[in-house]
Structures are given as C-alpha cells and as structure tokens.
C-alpha cells in the first residue's frame, strides 16, 4: 500500500542557468587555424568536453534541498534543469524512496519522494547524477529525516484499538480513503481503517480522499463498530496523496456472514463480492447471493454511489464494499463508495431486459383523469388491447389514453389493458389491472396534505387542502415534523400551530424562506416557516386536528434511507400531488409508508398547480 503526502519542491536559486545553456555552442566549440599547412582547417578543441562539465557543475550548485537537516514530510526532486537531466538514488530507500519515473509539478519535471521516518533521526545520502550531452557529473546530498514527534496521537488503528477506552478523547493521523454521507474513513500505513462519524446530519465533510489528516474526537461505539465520533479538531496535513485499498476477494459472498464482528480491525476492511442488489422494504439496497441475504448497503453511503448501484437492481454484479458494522436489525451493513464504472456486470440478455421493463409496467392503475404509462428502459410500446368492460371508459387515441369516469351513481369499473412491448423483433404481452374510479359525490372528512415539494436547495413546500363541506377553524390544527438524522425522532422535532379560517376549496401553504418565488404566496393562506419547511426525504410530517392525527407523510421513528418510495414516486427530489380521489388522510404514521399509493409524482420544483387542488 502506497501513501504519498503532498510534495514540496526542492529550492532552486533564482539565478537562471538558461542563459549559460543558450550560449553553450560558443563555450563548447572553438576553431583553430593550422600553422603547418597553407590550408586553413577547423578542428574541435578539447574545450568542448570541459565546457560541458562547467555547465554541469554550475547546474549542480543551483540545485539544493530545502531544510535538508530537518526532513519531516514528503518532497520532490528536480528531474531536469534546462537541457540538463538529473537522476537520483537514495542510500536507504526504506526511509527515503524516490519514484522510478518523473511527473509534472507546476512547470517542473520532478521525482516524487516518499519519506517514512524511522524511530530515530536518520541521515540519508542522496546521489544526483547530472547529465549533459555525453558528460555526467555526480554530486552527493546529505539529508536528515527527523524521527516522528510523539504528541500522544496514534498513527496505527490497531494501537488505538488496543489502548483507548470508550469515551476517551483520541487523536489519529492517517489518510482519507473513503467519503460517505456521515463522515469519512481514515486508513493507516498498515492498511487498517477507522470510521470518523459526525452525528449532526447536516455536517459538511471538508476533507477529500487523499488528504493526510489528524483528527481528534470521542472514541465511541455504534453497534459492533468502534469509531471516532464528532471530531473537535481536524487538520489536513497534506493533500493529493495516493491511497490504495486492497480488497479481499470472497469467491462465495456468503462468507461475509462468517466475519467475526467482535474483531475491531475487521471493520473498515474492503471485500470484493459477487451479489445481486435488491431494493428491500425500507427502500435500501440489500445484497443477495441467490436467495441468501449477505448485507445491506448503509444508507449513509453517498447518494451517487447508491443511485449507481440501483441501476443494477436484480442483476448480478461484482463490487467492492467496506464492512461497516453488524447491525442488530439490518444484519451486516456495508459502505458502497464506488461509481457506475466500479460495478462489473455481464450485459443483460433480451429476456432479462424484458423482465426489468415488465416489472416497471406491471402494477395496478387507478384512474381518475388520464393514464400515462411509465417510460421503459429497454423496450418500446407497440399495441394496446382494452378489455370489453373498459371500452366505454378508456380510449387509446393518437398514442394517448382518454379516460371517462363513471357517474357518481355508478360503481368503479375494473378491467385490464394488454400492452405489447417490443425489443427488436421480439415482443411480450403485459396484462395490467386498471380501475376507473367513479366520480365522487362525497366530501373530505377533514383537511389533508395536498402537495409536497422536496426540491432544489431550500425549495421545501407543503400544501393543505380543505375538501370538506364547510369552513374550518385553523387554530384547531397543527403540523409536526419528526426529523430523521443520526436517529429518527419519535416525538415531534418542531410544531406549527395554524391560525385563521380556511374556506371550502381553499389551500394553506407552508414554505421555506429560501424557496424560489414560485412557491411563495400562491395559496389562499401562506406561511413562511423554516422549522417545518426544512424537511428532507427521510423526515415525517403529521397533520393533527385537536391532537388527533388526520394525515401524515412518512413513518415516525423509521429510517427509510434517503426517502420513502422508489424511483417513480419518492419523497426526495420530487413534487408530489395527492391523487384526486383521495378524500381522507393517512391517519396512521406508524405503519409502513409508500407514497405510490396516494400520490402522483412530478419533477422537483414543479409549480404549475401550486396553490390549487382538485378532489373528485
């Protein structure tokens, strides 16, 4: 495993040798006229080679090593100066190792030098070979690598584990190898890793992979994981270091189930697994080998990494994951920190492509105004066959469905649509169940949430609609938010009591002060409140009337990951509009929550219907 700190360039005199090199022809060559013949001849003098040496010695005097008697970190050595090339060797590569090939640093060609201090000050001789034309010149440089200062901090994770006591304040130095939503991972020179965790969910991670950092924080335990929690001091010593994590390949992914979670050093180890990702009931990505559960991807993995993995749901993939903890409820939690390029998977067969698109299409459709089929990833839509009992209520004209609802005196109509989808010359018929809702003559039983916007930046918006048969006194109502951060709140994090009167058919909106103007002052009553309208996709909202729950979004006390729902209807990065036939709210915020059932989804920051709602 190679670790390279930020390199400081060798000090170079401001005197320029370029002028000397530019006039090298005049110095290195001369002509003499023979006095023994009548013919004038020009010959090369031995001054040429001597002049080459002059140039080499001049350049060697300009190349010096800054702080040569006090080397404490990695540095770089010039590989060339003008037309003079420079090769370097070390008397002790274990302590001072010089890269075998040059790289570019600014406008200079340099060799990167890795310094690994010994337990005592160490004198190293660096040999520089300067070459110009056919001549070489050797110069020796003496440097002293200083022993590490013992400031009570740890440089090895194993030593911290052996000596530290829970709740101690500890300091660890190492290299940032992984960033995740809750913090980052420090890896030491022995290849062992420790999790650094921030309990505040809104903490900005200010380090980058490749940073050499020194971190001071509380030595804490989470499930089987021992970690540094809530750092009070965080110092970046150098950046752009190379950090290599060497994965352990498990030919049988279920061998991960046998990893001893009581061994602290097993946490932070990286494993290569061949598994199949599946979305579990909580909306998280679970990893299976065949029918056997292996691990769940920790929801605090970077969203971009989780989204990349979700593109391979139900497909066998080979990925690297980091063992995070054995969780009492979830089983093994792992961090996935890769991108789509880090996921290895065989190309899908046509049958597998059909299976994915059929799963997308195959669901129950409840219609009140129109039907829009979901976009398919691999297939194209072809023909549609409408069952006989639906022909009076659904037409397929010009590639669009036209829906006519039964009268309020009639019952809902149930039937099927048979949809042919094609890939190349192959096709499949998919039968979907459809219910066309009769026009509702009933009024809502109480107020309910009619719109939910979890959009860009501070575009947070909640709309409440009065679909009852009479005006309501808003002072009897309040909204509660249950924030899901490190833990998910089981009591209200913030409460907003409403006021005023909301007439039939009117709306009240609560929005964040930082929202764009399109979300402001669009409803009948408008409230700017940053406590309620500051939710994320994993928070829960509750509407109460005289302390009785009349509607809710989410599930109190349950962490869904980033959101409830799926890629079609989600409480994150989407605008949700209550389906028009929903006339009563979700009064149980403690059961499993799926927004697909009662909400239609639109792109985040979608505003055309803000301030109005249709219930029929």
What confidence tens digit (pLDDT) does each residue in 254-309 have? 999 999 999 999 999 999 999 999 988 777 899 999 999 999 999 999 989 999 99
* Residue ranges of the chain with per-residue pLDDT less than 50: 1-46
The whole-angstrom separation of Cα 273 and Cα 397 is 49
Torsion (CA) 93, 95, 101, 107 in degrees, nearest 10: -150
Helix, strand or coil, per DSSP, at residue 159: helix
**DSSP string across 409-470:** TS--EEEEEEEEEEETTEEEEEEEEEEEPPPP-PPPSS-EEEEEEE-STT-EEEEEE--SSS
Write phi, then psi, for 511 (nearest 5 degrees).
-140, 165
Beta bridge partners of 248: 271
Cα 502 from chain centroid?
Answer: 43
- Residue 494 CA from chain centroid, whole number: 29
Q: What is the pLDDT of residue 614?
A: 83
Task: Write down the residue that tokens 């209550």 correspond to.
Answer: 578
d(CA 327, CA 487): 14
Which contacts of 284-291 are long-range, i.e. CB under 8 A and separated by 24 or more positions? 284/330, 284/560, 284/561, 285/309, 285/310, 285/313, 285/336, 287/253, 287/321, 287/334, 289/252, 289/253, 289/254
**Sequence ranges of the chain with CATH classification 2.60.40:** 350-436, 448-603
Please answer whether residues 332 and 326 qualify as being in contact, where contact means their C-beta atoms are separated by less than 8 angstroms. yes
448-603: CATH number: 2.60.40
Whole-angstrom Cα distance, residue 284 to residue 19? 66
Distance from C-alpha of 592 to C-alpha of 574, rounded to nearest angstrom:
20
Instruction: Tell me how far apart the alpha carbons of residues 43 and 31 are, in angstroms, rounded to a whole number.
Output: 6
Phi-psi region of 203 (alpha: psi -120 to 50; beta: other; left: phi over 0): beta
Residue 13: per-residue pLDDT? 37
Task: Outline which parts of the chain fall under CATH 2.40.50.200.
Answer: 157-238
Q: Which CATH superfamily includes the segment(s) 157-238?
A: Bacterial OB-fold (2.40.50.200)
- Would you identify the CATH topology of the domain 248-342? OB fold (Dihydrolipoamide Acetyltransferase, E2P) (2.40.50)
The predicted structure's pLDDT at residue 543: 98
End-to-end CA distance of the chain: 65
Q: Is pTM, for the whole model, over 0.75? A: no
CATH topology of domain 350-436: Immunoglobulin-like (2.60.40)
Q: How far is CA 243 from the centre of its chain?
A: 18
**What whole-number distance in Å separates Cα of residue 55 and Cα of residue 83?**
10
pLDDT of residue 49: 58
**Tokens in use for 562?**
């980033």
Does residue 447 contact residue 543 with C-beta atoms inside 8 Å? yes
Look up tokens 């006194």; give the residue.
473
**443-446 contacts at long range (C-beta below 8 A, 24 or more positions apart):** 443/467, 443/468, 443/469, 443/583, 444/468, 444/583, 444/584, 444/615, 445/583, 445/584, 446/545, 446/550, 446/551, 446/584, 446/585
Distance, CA of 502 to CA of 473 (rounded, Å): 7
Q: What is the pLDDT of residues 407-454, one digit of tens each?
A: 878 899 999 999 999 999 999 999 999 999 888 777 898 999 999 999
């Amino acid at each position: 495993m190679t670790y390279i700190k930020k390199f400081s360039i060798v000090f170079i005199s401001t005197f320029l040798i370029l002028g000397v090199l530019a006039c090298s022809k005049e110095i290195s060559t001369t002509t003499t006229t023979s006095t023994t013949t009548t013919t004038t001849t020009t010959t090369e003098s031995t001054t040429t080679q001597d002049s080459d040496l002059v140039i080499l010695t001049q350049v060697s005097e300009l190349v010096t090593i800054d702080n040569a008697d006090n080397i404490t970190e990695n540095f770089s050595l010039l590989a060339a100066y003008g037309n003079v090339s420079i090769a370097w060797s070390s008397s002790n590569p274990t302590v001072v190792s010089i890269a075998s090939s040059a790289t570019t640093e600014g406008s200079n060609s340099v060799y990167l030098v890795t310094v690994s201090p010994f337990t005592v000050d160490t004198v190293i001789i660096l040999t520089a070979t300067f070459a110009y034309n056919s001549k070489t010149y050797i110069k020796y440089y003496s440097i002293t690598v200083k022993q590490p200062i013992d400031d009570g901090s740890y440089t090895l994770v194993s030593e911290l584990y052996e000596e530290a006591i829970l709740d101690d304040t500890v300091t660890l130095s190492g290299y940032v190898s992984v960033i995740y939503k809750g913090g980052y991972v420090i890896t030491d020179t022995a290849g062992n890793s420790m999790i650094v965790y921030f309990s505040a969910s809104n903490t900005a991670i200010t380090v980058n992979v490749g940073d050499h950092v020194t971190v001071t924080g509380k030595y804490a335990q989470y499930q089987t994981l021992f970690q540094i929690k809530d750092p009070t001091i965080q110092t970046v010593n150098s950046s752009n270091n190379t950090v290599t994590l060497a994965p352990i390949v498990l030919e049988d992914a279920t061998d991960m189930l046998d990893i001893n979670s009581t061994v602290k050093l097993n946490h932070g180890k990286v494993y290569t697994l061949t598994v199949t990702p599946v979305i579990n009931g909580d909306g998280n990505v679970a990893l299976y080998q065949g029918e056997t559960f292996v691990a769940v991807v920790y929801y605090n993995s970077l969203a971009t990494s989780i989204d990349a993995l979700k593109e391979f749901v139900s497909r066998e993939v080979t990925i690297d994951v980091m063992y995070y903890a054995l969780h009492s409820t979830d089983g093994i939690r792992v961090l996935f920190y890769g991108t789509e390029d880090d996921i290895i998977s065989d190309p899908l067969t046509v049958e597998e492509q059909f299976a994915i698109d059929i799963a997308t299409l195959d669901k129950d459709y409840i219609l009140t105004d129109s039907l829009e089929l979901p976009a398919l990833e691999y297939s194209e839509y072809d023909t549609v066959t409408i069952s006989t009992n639906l022909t009076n209520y659904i037409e397929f004209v010009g590639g669009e469905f036209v829906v006519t609802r039964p009268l309020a005196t009639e019952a809902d109509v149930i039937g099927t649509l048979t949809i042919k989808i094609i890939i190349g010359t192959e096709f499949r018929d998919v039968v979907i169940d459809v219910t066309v809702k009769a026009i509702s003559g009933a009024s809502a039983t109480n107020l309910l949430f009619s719109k939910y916007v979890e959009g860009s930046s501070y575009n947070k918006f909640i709309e409440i609609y009065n679909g009852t048969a009479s005006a309501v006194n808003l002072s009897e109502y309040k909204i509660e938010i249950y924030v899901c951060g490190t833990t998910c709140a089981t009591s209200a994090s913030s409460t907003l009591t409403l006021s005023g009167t909301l007439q039939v058919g009117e709306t009240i909106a609560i929005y964040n002060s930082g929202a764009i103007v399109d979300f402001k002052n669009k409803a009948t009553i408008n409230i700017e409140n940053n406590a309620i309208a500051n939710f994320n996709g994993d928070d829960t909202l509750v509407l109460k009337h005289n302390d009785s729950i009349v509607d809710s979004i989410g599930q109190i006390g349950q962490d869904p990951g980033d959101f409830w729902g799926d890629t079609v209807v989600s409480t994150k990065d989407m605008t949700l509009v209550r389906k028009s036939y929903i006339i009563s709210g979700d009064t149980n915020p403690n059961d499993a929550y799926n927004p697909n059932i009662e909400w239609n989804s639109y792109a985040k920051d979608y505003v055309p219907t803000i301030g109005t709602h249709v219930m029929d």
